[in-house]
Each structure stands twice: as C-alpha cells, then as structure tokens.
C-alpha cells in the first residue's frame, strides 16, 4: 500500500467489526487511498483478526480496542446494533478530541440512544446507514463494490431523539464543526460509490421498517409457518418452492443476531408497520371469504402499480 499524493480524508481510520459491511468498507478504502492514510481494524475474536490479517485488507489489525483506536481521527462501528452502546462506552475515554465517530447500524433511534450517554462534546458522532447488504456475513462476505450506486442515509440530527442533558454532553458547541464532520462522512460514502441523503433518525426508522425490516419479518415468519407443516407437505413445499415461496426465503437466510437486534431496536416503527400490514391482510382474508372480487382486484392492481413505479425508478 502506498501513500496518495492528495491528502486523504482520514489519517487513521478505524473500522470496528470487519464483517460484511466493515470488510467491504476496508476493501474499498484499500483501492482508494484518498479515504484514509492508515486503515485499521479490530475484532474481539482473535481468529477473525488472524483471518483478516491474511486477507490483507487493513494496514493494522488489532484484537484490543485500545490499540486500534489510539491516535485515530475516524472510527466507524460496523457491529450489530445491540453492541453499539457497550463498545462506545469502552472507546470514548480513549479518543482524541475532534475524532469523528460514526456507525453503520440498520436502525438509528435506538443506536443514538444507546451511544449518547457516553458521548463527549469534543467527539463528533455522525450515524449512517449504508442501504446495501447481502444475506451473507463475516469478513469473507465483503466486496469493494458493495456500496456502488446504493444509498447511504446520514442522520446527523441526533438531538431529535436524545434528552436535554445528553444534548449538552453530546453536541459540539459549534454547529459548523458538526456540519463539517457530516460533510466528511458524506464524502467518505460518496468515495465508496454510494449516493448520500440526510434524514431525521425517527423518519429513517419508519422508512426502513417498511422497506426492509417488515419484509424480513414476513419472510422469516412464512418460513417458520412452512416449517410447522406436516412432514410430507413440508417436503413438497421445498420441491415446489420455485412458485413464489423461494423469493421469500432468500431474504430469510440473513444473519440471526443482526436481525434479532434490528427487530428489538426498531420495535415501535416495526410493530406499527406490522400492525398496518396485519390489518390489510385481514381485509384481504375477509374479501376472499366473502368473495369480494372488486376489493381483491384493487389490492392486486396496487401491487402492480408499485412494481411499475419501481421499474420506472430503476429499482426493480
């Protein structure tokens, strides 16, 4: 690895958790040395560290958080949302003033609430959510193009979900400094090929509940409904899965700990969207029972419209 002639965005960037997201970010940053002069990563599991060292996707790999974050000007938590608070608590006393602290969790409100109690006003905490992923996890699952043309949502307005006392502790007295930090993290994601957009954390959680968390919940559920069928029928479901069921199982193969954490950490928004969905499914059941053709046709037509909007949006 060689120095870049133009000054990189970060001098020492630490990726905590070299899993799917973390290792993809490292791989991308290895290719574009304008992201960071020194790339550091750390994992609590020494075997994972040894493997990541072999992969050669970081300049330094540490098993100890303290050794990793020492002297860092940027730290990005790429760990399950349920672990964000605890790890922040451990690293905060070790960070130099002015360090940019970020994270990539799939939920925002609960992560901000978990992290905020430990923040200092001289640390800039900018939460992000790269809307990219696969159903695989771990350092081998990552690849440098994961974020290309995908959205990365940035939720810098953490004060909308923190308490008054936390606000004093967490927000830098100079709004311009926070704005600069936000721009810096936006630049980082743009360098990975992502499109960035700022969003309020509460709104983020609502949109993601609908767009990602509810579909995953339904996919996990239909798999376990099928799993409960009598043996013969269940084995036939597997034989004939190509007829629709299969599309649900792909997303149902994602990492259990990550998804448990997401469900528990976006409880309110997810339960709200699920309740709406259940009402709609009940209405559909009623329409089928009473043979209300018009209602059924209307629901099916809406599905098609949404699909066509996606095709027009080039998201399909």
Ligand X SMILES: NC(=O)c1ccc[n+]([C@@H]2O[C@H](COP(=O)([O-])OP(=O)(O)OC[C@H]3O[C@@H](n4cnc5c(N)ncnc54)[C@H](OP(=O)(O)O)[C@@H]3O)[C@@H](O)[C@H]2O)c1
The interface with its own copies within residues 136-195 (CB under 8 A) comprises 150-151
**Shortest distance, CB of residue 40 to ligand X, whole angstroms?**
14
Contact map string, positions 215 to 244, toward its own copies, x by CB under 8 A = xxxxxxxxxxxxxxx---x--xxxxxxxxx
Pick from 94, 141, 202, 274 the residue near its own copies by CB under 8 A. Answer: 274
Cα 208 to Cα 194: distance, rounded to the nearest angstrom: 17
- Our finding on whether 219 is near ligand X (CB under 6 A) is no
The entry of ligand X, its own copies, none that residue 45 binds, CB within 5 to 8 Å by partner kind: ligand X
**Shortest distance, CB of residue 213 to ligand X, whole angstroms?**
10
Least Cα distance to 251 among 220, 208, 273 occurs for 220
- Our finding on whether 296 is near its own copies (CB under 8 A) is yes
Strand-strand pairing, 10-16 and 36-42: parallel
**Shortest distance, CB of residue 275 to its own copies, whole angstroms?**
8
**Shortest distance, CB of residue 265 to its own copies, whole angstroms?**
10
Coil, helix or strand at residue 122: coil
Pick from 80, 127, 156, 201 the residue near ligand X by CB under 6 A. Answer: 80
Q: Which long-range contacts (CB under 8 A, 24 or more apart) does 242-248 make?
A: 248/218, 248/219, 248/222, 248/223
The entry of ligand X, its own copies, none that residue 316 binds, CB within 5 to 8 Å by partner kind: its own copies
- Our finding on whether 44 is near ligand X (CB under 6 A) is yes
- Our finding on whether 198 is near its own copies (CB under 8 A) is no
- Strand order through the sheet with 74-77: 60-62, 36-42, 10-16, 74-77, 100-103, 124-130, 151-154, 195-198
- Our finding on whether 199 is near ligand X (CB under 6 A) is no
Cα 199 to Cα 205: distance, rounded to the nearest angstrom: 10
When the beta carbons of 22 and 201 are compared against ligand X, the nearer one is 22
**Cα 111 → chain centroid:** 11
Pick from 13, 14, 17, 248 the residue near ligand X by CB under 6 A. Answer: 17
**Which residues have C-beta within 8 Å of that of residue 191, sequence separation ≥ 6?**
9, 28, 32, 34, 35
Stretch of 94-102, 127-135, 154-162, 308-316 lying at the interface with ligand X (CB under 6 A): 127-135
Window 133-172: residues binding ligand X (CB under 6 A): 133, 137-138
**Cα 76 → chain centroid:** 12
**Shortest distance, CB of residue 106 to ligand X, whole angstroms?**
3
**Shortest distance, CB of residue 239 to ligand X, whole angstroms?**
15
- Our finding on whether 195 is near ligand X (CB under 6 A) is no
Least Cα distance to 43 among 139, 155, 122, 131 occurs for 139
Q: How many residues bind its own copies (CB under 8 A)?
A: 90
**Which residues have C-beta within 8 Å of that of residue 306, sequence separation ≥ 6?**
none
119 phi/psi in degrees, rounded to 5: -70, 165
- Residues in contact with ligand X by CB under 6 A are 17-22, 43-45, 48, 78-81, 83, 87, 104-106, 129-130, 133, 137-138, 255, 258, 262
């Amino acid at each position: 690895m060689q120095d870049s002639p133009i000054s990189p965005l970060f001098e020492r960037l630490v990726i905590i958790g070299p899993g799917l997201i973390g290792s993809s970010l490292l791989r991308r940053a290895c290719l574009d040395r304008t992201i960071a002069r020194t790339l550091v990563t750390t994992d609590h599991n020494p075997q994972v560290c040894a493997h990541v060292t072999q992969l050669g996707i970081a300049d330094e790999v540490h098993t100890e958080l303290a050794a990793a974050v020492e002297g860092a000007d940027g730290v990005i938590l790429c760990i399950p949302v349920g672990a964000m608070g605890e790890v922040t608590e451990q690293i905060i006393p070790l960070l130099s003033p002015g360090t940019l602290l970020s994270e990539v969790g799939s939920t925002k409100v609960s992560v901000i609430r978990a992290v905020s109690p430990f923040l200092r006003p001289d640390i800039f905490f900018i939460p992000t959510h790269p809307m990219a992923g696969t159903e695989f996890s771990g350092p081998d699952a990552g690849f440098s193009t994961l974020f290309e043309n995908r959205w990365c949502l940035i939720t810098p307005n953490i004060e909308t979900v923190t308490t008054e006392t936390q606000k004093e502790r967490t927000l830098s007295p100079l709004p311009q400094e926070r704005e600069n930090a936000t721009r810096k993290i936006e630049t980082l994601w743009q360098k990975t090929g992502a499109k960035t957009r700022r969003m309020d954390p509460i709104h983020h959680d609502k949109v993601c509940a609908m767009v990602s968390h509810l579909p995953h919940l339904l996919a996990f559920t239909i798999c376990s409904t099928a799993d409960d069928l009598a043996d013969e029928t269940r084995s036939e479901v597997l034989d004939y899965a190509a007829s629709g069921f299969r599309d649900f199982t792909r997303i149902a193969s994602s990492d259990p700990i990550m998804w448990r954490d997401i469900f528990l950490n976006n409880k309110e928004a997810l339960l709200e969207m699920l309740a709406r969905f259940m009402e709609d499914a009940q209405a559909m059941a009623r329409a089928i029972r009473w043979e209300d053709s018009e209602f059924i046709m209307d629901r099916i037509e809406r599905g098609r419209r949404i699909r066509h909007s996606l095709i027009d949006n080039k998201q399909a």
